């Protein structure tokens, strides 16, 4: 397999069109077709088929797409790392971060990083954890900063703890249940989860209610957007569990904490990476900036615990 063949294949898989891939790569369509055919011949499998909807990957093509993308991204990072070893703090760093990080530590970490690597290119994503893991595995992102539950990581991923934060229940100012002190008092309320059942935040809710010996609430709204979650919680009687760090950062949006007597779960916020991937010097520098911000907050006695 040649790198050019893999690049052609990945582009066709992304565009789902030989013609669109040819335009993207500045090649002729016959050249793109020939490259894919040569790759299929070398591997002895059919990677893609044509249909009325365009190019469709076979089982073999789907498997190769992840590996091919990973190889191409690792080659790019290898080239960038050689430049960075020369002292040129350039190259691209792509990070997926949760709302807790985006609205609290990230701005300070970004400012610190840009002082040290002003020429580096940065890209930030806020995607749900399963998709973030997909991007990790295919090399699209360098690392994820997220809360970690014990069963969230596969054997191919590793995590580096940053800090631990507990969770609180948030409601709009003046919520009729704002005087509640027991989770049981909130069991019949309408709740909001930003991920489907079985996902991270839903698991936080499961842990909360299981610890209190209660079943999950019957009324749970699912949405995929933090902005929607914020809007619904601020303007309706919906309740939502947020990390304490995030809750404090959005207090100005008309939300208040319902101060329950029993503590809610505390989870680790961690940097998550592929075990077999080496971060480039620039990516490692960004992780170090996050760690430094955590230490600064810990030293100033902010609500970030070891």
The mean pLDDT of 93-109, rounded to a whole number, is 90
Q: Is the pLDDT of residue 72 over 70?
A: yes
Among candidate residues 272, 285, 297, 304, the one with its CA nearest the CA of residue 127: 272
Give the pLDDT confidence score for residue 82 in this predicted structure.
80
Cβ neighbours of residue 110 under 8 Å, at least 6 residues apart? 122, 289
Whether the per-residue pLDDT at 64 is higher than 70: the answer is: yes
* Model pLDDT for residues 133-151, shown as the tens digit of each residue: 888 888 888 999 988 766 6
Counting beta carbons within 10 angstroms of the beta carbon of residue 192, is it exposed (0 to 12), middle (13 to 18) or buried (19 or more)?
A: buried
Mean pLDDT of the chain: 84
Alpha-carbon distance 107 to 105, whole Å? 6
pTM: 0.70
Name the superfamily (CATH) of residues 164-266.
Answer: Periplasmic binding protein-like II (3.40.190.10)
Using the predicted structure, report yes or no on whether residue 74 has a pLDDT greater than 70: yes
Query: Can you tell me the mean pLDDT for 257-283?
Result: 85
Q: Residue ranges per domain, the chain? A: 3-69, 74-163+268-299, 164-266
| Ranges assigned E (strand) in 86-245 | 92-97, 121-125, 143-148, 157-172, 191-193, 220-222, 240-243
What is residue 207's DSSP assignment?
A: H
* 273-283 average pLDDT score: 84
From CA 31, how far away is CA 43, in angstroms rounded? Answer: 18
According to DSSP, the β-strands at 191-193 and 220-222 are parallel
Give the tens place of pLDDT for each residue, 170-229. 999 889 998 889 988 998 999 988 654 444 444 677 778 887 888 888 888 887 778 888
Pairing of strands 191-193, 157-172: unpaired
CA dihedral 181, 185, 190, 191 (to 10 degrees): 50
Do the first three CATH levels of 74-163+268-299 and 164-266 match, i.e. the same topology?
yes
Give yes or no for residue 88 having a pLDDT over 90: no
Asked whether residue 233 carries a pLDDT value surpassing 50, the answer given is yes
Nearest Cα residue to 212 out of 273, 254, 159, 265? 265
Instruction: Give the pLDDT score at 221.
Output: 86
pLDDT of res. 274 = 86
Helix, strand, coil tally for the chain in percent (to 5): 45, 20, 30
Per the CB < 8 A criterion, the answer to whether 273 and 254 are in contact is: no
Is residue 305 very low, low, confident or very high in pLDDT (cuts 50, 70, 90)?
low
Least confident of 5-9, 16-20, 219-223, 299-303: 299-303
User: Pick from 4, 56, 59: which is nearest to 32 by CA?
Assistant: 4
- Cα 161 to Cα 276, 290, 294, distances in angstroms: 18, 11, 11
Please report which confidence band the pLDDT of residue 114 belongs to, taking 50, 70 and 90 as the band edges: very high
Which pLDDT belongs to residue 154? Answer: 75
Report whether pLDDT(132) > 70: yes
Arch. (CATH architecture) of 74-163+268-299: 3-Layer(aba) Sandwich (3.40)
So what's the pLDDT on residue 302?
A: 53
Q: Is pLDDT of 109 > 90? A: yes
| pLDDT higher than 70, residue 304 | no
Backbone angles phi, psi at 95, to 5 degrees: -130, 135
CATH code for residues 3-69: 1.10.10.10
Please, which residues have CB within 8 angstroms of residue 176's CB and are 6 or more apart in sequence? 237
- Tokens 């230490």, residue located: 295
Section 101-110 average pLDDT:
92
Query: What mean pLDDT do residues 228-242 have?
Result: 89
- pLDDT of 37 > 70? The answer is yes
């Amino acid at each position: 397999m040649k790198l050019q063949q893999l690049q052609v294949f990945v582009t066709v898989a992304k565009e789902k069109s030989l013609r669109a891939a040819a335009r993207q790569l500045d090649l002729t369509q016959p050249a793109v077709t020939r490259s894919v055919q040569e790759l299929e011949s070398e591997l002895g499998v059919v990677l893609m088929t044509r249909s009325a909807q365009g190019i469709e990957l076979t089982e073999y093509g789907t498997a190769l797409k992840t590996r091919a993308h990973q190889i191409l991204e690792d080659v790019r990072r290898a080239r960038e790392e050689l430049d960075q070893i020369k002292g040129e703090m350039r190259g691209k760093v792509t990070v997926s971060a949760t709302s807790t990080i985006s609205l609290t530590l990230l701005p300070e970490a970004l400012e610190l990083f840009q002082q040290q690597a002003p020429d580096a290119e940065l890209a930030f994503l806020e995607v749900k954890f399963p998709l973030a893991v997909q991007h990790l595995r295919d090399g699209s992102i360098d690392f994820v900063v997220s809360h970690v539950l014990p069963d969230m990581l596969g054997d191919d991923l590793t995590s580096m703890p940053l800090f631990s934060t507990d969770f609180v229940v948030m409601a709009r100012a003046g919520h009729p249940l704002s005087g509640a002190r027991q989770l049981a008092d909130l069991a019949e309320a309408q709740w909001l989860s930003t991920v489907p059942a079985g996902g991270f935040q839903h698991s936080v809710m499961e842990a909360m209610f299981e610890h209190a010996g209660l079943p999950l609430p019957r009324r749970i709204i699912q949405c995929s957007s933090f902005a929607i979650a914020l809007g619904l919680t601020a303007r309706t009687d919906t309740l939502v569990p947020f990390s304490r760090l995030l809750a404090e950062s959005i207090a100005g949006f008309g939300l208040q904490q319902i101060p329950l007597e029993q503590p809610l779960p505390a989870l680790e916020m961690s940097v998550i990476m592929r075990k077999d991937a080496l971060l480039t010097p620039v990516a490692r520098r960004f992780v170090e900036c996050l760690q430094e911000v955590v230490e600064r907050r810990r030293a100033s006695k902010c609500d970030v615990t070891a």
